[in-house]
Amino acid sequence: MSATDLRNEVSAWLAAEWDPARPTKEWLAAVVEAGWAAPRWPREWFGRGLSDELGHVVEEEFRNVGAPGTGQDRHNLYAATVLTFGGDELKRRLIGPMLRDEVSMCLLYSEPDAGSDLAAVRTRADRDGDRWIVNGQKVWTSSAATADYGMLVARTNWDVPKHRGITFFLFPMKQAGVEVRPLHQITDEAHFNEVFLTDAAVPDAHRLGDVDRGWGVLQTALAYERSVMGDRARAGRGTTGMAEMGDELVALARETGRIDDPVVRQDLARVAALRLGNGWNNQRAKAEVEQGSSSSVMSLGKLAMSRLLHESARVRTSLAGARAMLEGPDEPVGDEANFLAFNAYFTSIGGGTDQIQRTIIGERILGLPKEPEVDRDLPFSEVRRG
């Protein structure tokens, strides 16, 4: 199929079907039914078997009219993971509802003793006939209280090195034995939860990939997640996007009477350069990838964003001055400075700390040798913890 034919087909379909007033559920069902939700997937699995390039044509046409629902072969990490690793029965039962946004999902990866070292998970899954019994604790799970399923990594073999004894499950959350407790963050918000699992059950049919081979499944799922997360760093409360870090700092400097302070002005220019530089890096990475070369700039994005967020929060704090000693609705300038200073850690810790990020950049991009790993070949049961 040529790109032009496809473009015509999609735009004709959208012209006939798309109506911004249409209820979301009904709209998504129509998109899935037509095969546009995940156009790169095979026809038997809700797709159209299109190449990546043609998939972008579909996405473009949807974007042009502002219609949601397509591109899920790139963005829906849950459906994509189930499609890649699930059994046929599970795929038939769940992928449709996932694409139609009828099931709510969460991630059960991190644990108190398995943060940066995710392969050190201690939540255990023990086989019990055609199901597994799960015990342990997960943390940093958003949407845990409302989720229907969680993507779970659990230890199924303690006598082999850590990467080789993990299994990946699509875990049903709505059952006894699952207790969700909100996690109180340094920003005084609670976007995440702790999840306690006590003799909870997951059918073997919900296993994604082979027993003890869950680490590989996780890598695929994480790759999907990273590609989604790229540009999702949050700005301030009630503000959106990058403008916050440029123009709003200038506005604040004016408001606080500091706009003529040469020290402040130097800071404002520095932040502007970081902000614009990140945008140019992203544009360049995109251009390099589109031209078919690999781009080392891409993997720098998260580190760069974290640097920008911390730096702009520092400048904001210096502009707020003594007011940054206060918080709350009566002192919005101080409140925002504190919120941004604390929330910057969301980016420099979440999804791989800056330190882990630097290690990845050093090893995968620059080709520097790996650090010796003392636990690499030890049976997990003998690995030191603490």
Partner 1 sequence: MPAFAVTPEQQDLRASVRRFLADRSPEAEVRRLSDTEQGFDPDVWKRMAGQLGLQGLGIPEEFGGAGAGHVELGIVLEEMGRALLCAPFLSTVGLAANLLLTSGDRAAQARYLPGIAEGGTVATVAVSAAGLPGAGVVARRTDDGWRLTGTEPYVLDGHVADLVLVPARTTAGVALFAVEREASGLGRTLLTTADRTRRQARLTFTDTPGAPLDGGLPAVERMLDLAAIALASEQAGGAARALEMSVGYAKTRVQFGRAIGSFQAVKHLCADLLLESESATSAARYAASAADEDAPDLPALASLVRFSCSDSFVKVAADTIQIHGGIGFTWEHPAHLYLRRARTSALLLGDPAFHRERYLRRTGV
Which residues are identified as catalytic?
225
Burial state string for 266-299 with b = 16 or more CB within 10 A and e = fewer than 16: ebbeebbebbeebeebbeebeeeeeeeeebebbe
Q: Which of 6, 29, 77, 297 binds partner 1 (CB under 8 A)?
A: 297
Binding flag, residue 257, partner 1 (CB under 8 A): no
Residue with tokens 């990490």: 77
Instruction: Give the one residue of 368, 376, 381, 382 binding partner 1; rule: CB under 8 A.
Output: 368
- Which span sits near partner 1 by CB under 8 A: 121-129, 231-239, 293-301, 320-328? 293-301
Distances (CA, A) of 43 to 32, 59, 82, 341: 11, 17, 16, 48
Residue found by looking up tokens 């400097």 in the block: 253
State the nearest-atom distance from the C-beta of 30 to partner 1, in Å: 35
List the x/- string, 300-339, binding to partner 1 by CB under 8 A: x--xx--x--------------------------------
Cβ contacts of residue 118 below 8 Å, gap of 6+?
109, 110, 153, 218
Chosen residue from 284, 294, 376, 382 binding partner 1 by CB under 8 A: 284
Query: Is 370 among the residues that bind partner 1 (CB under 8 A)?
Result: yes
Q: What is d(CA 160, CA 178) in angstroms, rounded to the nearest whole number? A: 28
The one among 358, 376, 377, 381 contacting partner 1 by CB under 8 A? 358
The 3-class SS string of 13-52 reads: HHHHHCCCCCCHHHHHHHHHHHCCCCCCCCHHHCCCCCCH
CA atoms within 13 A of residue 79's CA, in its CB half-sphere = 28
Q: Which residues contact 7 (CB under 8 A, 6 or more apart)?
A: 57, 60, 61
d(CA 183, CA 141): 9
Least Å from the CB of residue 304 to partner 1: 6
205 contributes a contact to partner 1 by CB under 8 A:
no
Name the segment binding partner 1 (CB under 8 A); options: 7-15, 179-187, 198-206, 260-268.
260-268
Of residues 366 and 374, the one with the C-beta less far from partner 1: 366
Segment contacting partner 1 by CB under 8 A, of 5-13, 320-328, 337-345, 358-366: 358-366
Instruction: Examine residue 229 and tell whether it contacts partner 1 (CB under 8 A).
Output: no
Please tell me whether residue 116 binds partner 1 under the rule CB under 8 A: no
Q: Whole-angstrom Cα distance, residue 376 to residue 161?
A: 6
State which of residues 11, 84, 220, 281 lies at the interface with partner 1 (CB under 8 A). Answer: 281
Contact status, residue 45 vs residue 177, Cβ threshold 8 Å: no
Q: Using CB under 8 A, list all residues that contact partner 1.
A: 250, 259, 262, 265-266, 268-270, 272-273, 276-278, 280-281, 283-284, 286-288, 291, 296-297, 300, 303-304, 307, 355, 357-359, 361-363, 365-372
